[in-house]
Amino acid sequence: MKYSRISGTGGYLPDRILTNHDLEQMVDTSDEWIVSRTGIRERHIAADDQSTCDLAEQAALQAIDAAGITADDVDLIIVATTTPDRVFPSTACLLQQRLDIHGCAAFDVQAVCTGFIYALGVADKFIRTGSAGRALVVGAETMSRIVDWNDRSTCVLFGDGAGAVILEASDEPGILSTHLHADGSYENLLTVNAGVSIHPDALMAGKAYVEMKGNEVFKVAVNTLGRIVDETLEANDLDKSEVDWLIPHQANTRIIEATARKLKLPMDHVVMTVAEHGNTSAASVPLALDVAVRDGRIRRGETLLMEAFGGGFTWGSVLMKY
Ligand code: ACO
């Protein structure tokens, strides 16, 4: 059986760090409130002249290097982003040009914070069916561009960054299963209610902002992520104890802890970057993976469970042997 397997990871965070103490100077908030409700201490913010594609490029170059390949070896590019550089071409096409690759399929996936899980699920299917041999899969965001910096209920949560993997065909496992879901009936609990065809005036004025009913999102997220853990384990006939690492979407420490409790997984087997990165949406899972691969925590052959929940609502998981 043919599998797809991660052969290299990369990550990039912009230089500028915005701490909770910096935010105390901007809105009516406190380090104590932010840490106790979310676990976030600081986040990285892209420079004014840095775009989502700029961040994606740095992460992609690292992943290509870590996989020991050259850009020419890539035959599929998928970028998960909710903050693309342009309406079109896709950020994946812009990235393709930066990498000087020509001809392979390149497209974006939009599933907000679940974007990277969706992108990995799609790339896995391309590889398993033989349609691609080596995919570059990126999650990249400049969430700071769609945050209202006067709204304390959202501006403390988000950050910018990019993470990337090279996924390639292999006889060794690999991705074992992917589980992708959505329920659009929750459209208004978490949204940027502006775009090209509705409220374009807000978009043009740079006032298309994240709006979130945080409390309600929180409850659905905890329940839904609990269910997807069960679904993933059952689909693979796997016991909780066989999961070595949980690599969750990094939105909120309390949501992550609830999922870890469900798995009976000690927190030192959960990759946590939310304190330093904040919520980087589609970039959060690949960034966390890259951190734990590079610092030597995650080793070849270990079983990883990645999961995410985000606007849509969308949610999903990937179970894999690293
Ligand atoms: N500083 C101080 N006080 C604040 C702040 C702040 N930054 N933000 C809100 N508050 C206040 C509120 O005004 C409210 O005050 P009130 O009781 O006087 O009305 C109080 O704190 C409690 O507000 P809640 O929203 O109920 O706080 P909660 O404990 O739910 O925490 C949070 C808010 C952190 C947003 C939480 O609900 C959460 O993490 N939700 C889920 C987020 C998530 O997972 N999103 C999905 C991914 S994101 C994506 O897809 C783009």
255 CA from centroid of ligand 1 (Å)? 13
Q: Are residues 150 and 195 in the same domain?
A: no
Q: Are 137 and 119 within 8 A, CB to CB? A: yes
The answer to whether 217 touches 211, Cβ cutoff 8 Å, is no
pLDDT in tens, 174-188: 999 999 999 999 999
**Domain shared by 202 and 123, yes or no:** no
Instruction: List the CATH number of the domain containing 303.
Output: 3.40.47.10
Residue in 212, 218, 313 to alter for ligand 1 test, most ligand atoms within 8 A of Cβ:
218
- Structure token digits, residue 151: 């709204």
CA 254 to ligand 1: nearest atom: 39
224 lines ligand 1 (CB under 6 A): no
Final residue of a structural domain among 171, 189, 207: 171
Binding site membership of 225 for ligand 1 (Cβ less than 6 Å): no
Residue 238 and residue 99 share a domain: no
Of 125, 152, 171, which marks where a domain is finished? 171
Q: Do both 116 and 231 map to the same domain?
A: no
The rounded Å distance from CA 132 to ligand 1 centre is 42
145 with 206, same domain: the answer is no
104 catalytic? Reply is: no
Residue 214 CB–ligand 1 contact under 6 Å: yes
- Three-state secondary structure string covering the chain: CCEEEEEEEEEECCCEEEEHHHHHCCCCCCHHHHHHHHCCCEEEECCCCCCHHHHHHHHHHHHHHHCCCCHHHCCEEEEECCCCCCCCCCHHHHHHHHCCCCCCEEEEECCHHHHHHHHHHHHHHHHHCCCCCEEEEEEEEEHHHHCCCCCHHHHCCECEEEEEEEEEEECCCCEEEEEEEECHHHCCCEEECCCCCCCHHHHHCCCCCEEECHHHHHHHHHHHHHHHHHHHHHHCCCCHHHCCEEEECCCCHHHHHHHHHHHCCCHHHECCCHHHHCECHHHHHHHHHHHHHHCCCCCCCCEEEEEEEECCCEEEEEEEEC
Task: For 247-274, write each residue's pLDDT tens digit.
Answer: 999 999 999 999 999 899 999 999 999 9
Distance CA 103, CA 55 (A): 22
Distance in Å, CA 316 to ligand 1 centroid: 23
| Residue 193 and residue 240 in one domain | yes
Of 145, 217, 225, 315, best ligand 1 pocket probe by most atoms within 8 Å of the beta carbon: 217
Place of tokens 């709006």: 211
Confidence class for position 1, pLDDT limits 50, 70, 90? low
Burial of 27 (0-12, 13-18, 19+ CB in 10 A): middle
Q: What is the pLDDT of residue 105?
A: 98
The span from the CA of 236 to the CA of 197, in Å, is 42
Ligand 1 mean position, distance from CA 287 (Å): 24
Q: Does residue 260 share a domain with residue 163?
A: no
pLDDT tens per residue, range 135-169: 999 999 999 999 999 999 999 999 999 999 999 99
The yes-or-no answer on residue 113 being catalytic is: yes
Of the three residues 149, 171, 193, the one that is the final residue of a domain is 171
What does the angle CA 290 – CA 250 – CA 311 come to, to the nearest 5 degrees? 120
CA nearest ligand 1 atom 29, residue: 37
Same domain, 181 and 84: no
pLDDT of residue 98: 98
CA–CA dist 8, 86 (Å, integer): 28
Total domains present in the chain: 2
Band (285; pLDDT cuts 50, 70, 90): very high
| Predicted TM-score (pTM) of this structure | 0.97
Distance of CA 55 to the CA centre of its chain: 13
User: Do 265 and 160 share a structural domain?
Assistant: no
10 and 140 share one domain: yes
In the residue annotation, 279 being an active-site residue is answered as: yes
Structural domain range at position 49 = 3-171
Would you say the CB of residue 252 lies under 6 angstroms from ligand 1? yes
Q: Please indicate whether residue 140, judged by its CB atom, sits closer than 6 Å to ligand 1.
A: no
